[in-house]
Copies of this chain bind each other. A is one copy, B any other.
Amino acid sequence: MKNRLTLLDDRSIFRAMEKKDTKAEIIAKGTEMISLYGYNATGIDMILKQVHVPKGSFYHYFNSKEDFGLAVIDRFAERYEQRLITFLNDSEVSPLNRIRNYLESGLARLTQNQCTKGCLIGNLGQELADQNERFRSRLDEIFQSWKDRFASCLREAQSVGELRQDQDPVVIAGFILSGWEGSILRAKVTKSPQPMHDFIETIFSTVLK
């Protein structure tokens, strides 16, 4: 009897693991396709076909395409937050150099991707801000949290004398976020990382000095 119970437990653990993996796999493939084609043009069928999951199973993991889209955004935001922490809280480097390292790493990533995909949050903001309030408010929160991280780093830059005291860290943080999102968009359209490169050079020779 004990053995049978153990076996059942093992099976249910296995099923739980399998469920988690399949859900994660759908989200990962969805992230990739939504980054390339946008939310509206990415069909659930296309994703499921690529991960070899039957259609019926999709609704086992998500209530709707909208819930699935929000799960894609949440997973992306969680990972991106980690990336921002890695760069912007790096106490080995001066605050302005942390921002520079973060921007340079984004430039390297887009260059590696042949200037495709761009920023998932920017893409979905552009596509969905006027269409879906749940998406809009979640994307707005994410942009806000990124802006807050830049603003804290700029405050640190002021405290160590790297940035002029008459600059408002919150305004400059928003300015960096806007400029960076716009540079990524232009890099995607012109298929060259030059706009991102020019943004980095200009921001450090004019605003952040």
Interface residues of A (CB under 8 A from B): 36-38, 40-41, 116-118, 122-123, 125-127, 129-131, 136, 139-140, 143-144, 171-172, 174-175, 177-183, 185-186, 188-191, 194-195, 198-199, 201-203, 206-207
Known: A118-B129, A174-B186, A174-B198. 9 other contacts (CB 8 A): A37-B130, A38-B38, A125-B185, A127-B127, A140-B191, A143-B190, A178-B183, A182-B183, A206-B207
- Chain B nearest Cβ from A188, distance in angstroms: 5
Q: Can you name the residue of chain B whose Cβ is closest to the Cβ of A181?
A: B182
A interface majority secondary structure: helix
Given contacts A126-B118, A182-B183, contact A143 B174 (CB under 8 A): no
A186 to B201, CA, bound (A): 22
A189 touches B123 (CB 8 A): no
CA distance A87 to B180 in the complex (A): 26
Minimum distance in angstroms from A102 CB to a CB of chain B = 16
Residues in B with CB closer than 8 Å to A198 are 171, 174-175, 178
CB distance from A160 to the nearest CB of B (A): 20
Sample of 12 A–B contacts (CB below 8 Å)? A40-B41, A116-B129, A118-B129, A125-B186, A129-B188, A136-B189, A143-B189, A171-B201, A175-B179, A178-B179, A185-B185, A202-B207
Q: How far is the CB of A203 from chain B (nearest CB, A)?
A: 8
A126's partner among B171, B185, B195, B202 (CB-CB below 8 A) is B185
Contact (Cβ within 8 A) A143 B186: yes
Residues of B close to A188: CB separation below 8 A: 125-126, 129-130
Residue of B with least CB distance to A186: B178
Minimum CB–CB distance from A132 to chain B (whole Å) comes to: 11
